[in-house]
Amino acid sequence: MPALLADGIDVVALRETPRLREDPIACLEAGRSVEDCTEPLRRDLLPAERTDAARLGELADPGEGEVLGLDLLPAVCPAEECPPLIGNVHVMFDQDRTTATCVESAGGEADRQLTEAGFPW
């Protein structure tokens, strides 16, 4: 990433999603309902500040490229709950990775954050 920034290339750093206690796919495959497989968002387990924020700022200093931390948490865990499905889209691939389809579906949230930050894309 430092080489990209030094060359003036903007970088979007995607924040990790919360880790779930249970694999949501396995939960659904066990015949449990979406409601039973939905976990509350545990904000007490999330850092108050992004732990990588300082490092992202340091990387951006030497070059001309910008770094923006993108957080899809509002799309992955809306209303402070982390459901295994939103609409007909599986949210998580396992306990700590979002599905590609979910990330694609979160385009509106990504657009909102990028636009509000004045990030050109």
Average pLDDT, the chain: 82
- pLDDT at 1 exceeding the cut of 80: no
Q: What whole-number distance in Å separates Cα of residue 114 and Cα of residue 116? A: 6
pLDDT bin (cut points 50, 70, 90) of residue 85 is very high
pLDDT at 58 over 80: no
With contact defined as beta carbons under 8 Å apart, do 61 and 1 qualify?
A: no
Q: Higher model confidence: residue 62 or residue 1?
A: 1
Contact 109, 74 (CB under 8 A): yes
User: What distance in Å separates the CA atoms of residue 58 and residue 53, rounded to the nearest whole number?
Assistant: 9
What are the backbone dihedrals phi and psi of residue 69, each rounded to the nearest 5 degrees, phi first?
A: -80, 120
Neighbouring CB atoms inside 10 A of 119's CB total 14
* Mean pLDDT to the nearest integer, 72-99: 88
Residue 60 pLDDT > 70: no
Does the pLDDT of residue 63 top 60, yes or no?
no
- Which of the given ranges, 15-19, 22-26, 65-69, has the highest pLDDT on average? 22-26
**H or E element: which one contains 110?**
helix 107-116
Mean pLDDT confidence for 47-61: 65
pLDDT beyond 90 at 47: no
75: burial class by Cβ within 10 Å (0-12, 13-18, 19+)?
buried
Give the pTM. 0.73
- β-strands 67-70, 39-40 pairing: unpaired
pLDDT at 39 over 90: yes
